[in-house]
A = this chain, B = another copy of it.
Amino acid sequence: MTRATPTGWQAVHDEALRRIQTREWPPGARIPGEEDLAAELGCARATVNRALRELAEAGLLERRRKAGTRVAETPNRRAQMSISRIAEEIETRGARPGYALIAADDAPMPPARRHALGLGADTPTRHVEALHLADGAPYVHEDRWISLLAMPGAANADFTVMSANEWLLRHAPFSHGTLDYSATTAGDAAAHLGCDTQTPVMVLDRATFGPDHPITWVRLTYAPGFHLHMKI
């Protein structure tokens, strides 16, 4: 049976989503095969495949060869957030970004952080400490170590005008990384953030790796009131 309007993989996607949400395809049920759906909806199998693949990536369907496609019982949805330049993040929040370098030196990297990044004890690093501002107010404190093995150019880079965050985004052959958010007291960053040392703040520890070497480890301590917003 052919249908009137549904052409395009998005139409197939929406129709399948509708059937899932209306429980026409209840949780756990096996849905028709790609061939059958293509015939029913009047399109090619590749179009159905594209639509169902997106729904599977979204966690709503589970697909296995031979076993067919089933509606997920307890969908594991994925929340996404965009990781961008800090200045861009501030602009997105409708504020004017500012930046101030606090220190750029050779302060040693704490062993625990060296280990988290998988960096040998003898690998040279550069330390950068800075403050990012939103409309002139403290937004986030950045405490970073950069591997000079992966980024030799960081030894002579000038971080007074361009933040290490942006410099690395432009120059590092970034491949993958980990993010670790937690809540803690402001502690040493309190002086820079203009709050009490006991104030609860959000902290992001991030390790970044290139295709061959670890690149950088950074702790971002956000000012009180920061919210991490995501959509799903």
Contact = CB atoms under 8 A, between A and B. Distances in A.
A182 B227 contact: yes
Interface in A171-208: 173-185, 198, 200-202
Nearest to A212: B21
Contacts of A88: 74, 76
A156 interface: no
Contacts of A225: 182
A65 interface: no
Nearest to A28: B170
A200 B185 contact: yes
Nearest to A225: B182
Contacts of A77: 82-84, 174
A5 interface: no
Contacts of A1: none
Contacts of A176: 231-232
Interface in A11-27: 18, 21-23, 27
Contact of A173 (B23, B166, B183): B23
A78 interface: yes
A152 interface: no
Copies of the protein in its oligomer? 2
A75 interface: yes
Interface residues of A, number: 52
A99 B88 CA distance: 41
B181 A211 contact: no
A81 interface: yes
A190 to B, nearest CB: 12
B183 A202 contact: yes
A224 B200 CA distance: 12
B85 A74 contact: yes
A40 to B, nearest CB: 22
A65 B88 CA distance: 25
A176 B22 CA distance: 15
Given A21-B211, A75-B174, A178-B230, 5 more contacts: A18-B211, A73-B170, A76-B83, A178-B231, A180-B228
Interface of A: 18, 21-23, 27, 59, 73-85, 88, 166, 169-170, 173-185, 198, 200-202, 210-211, 222, 224-232
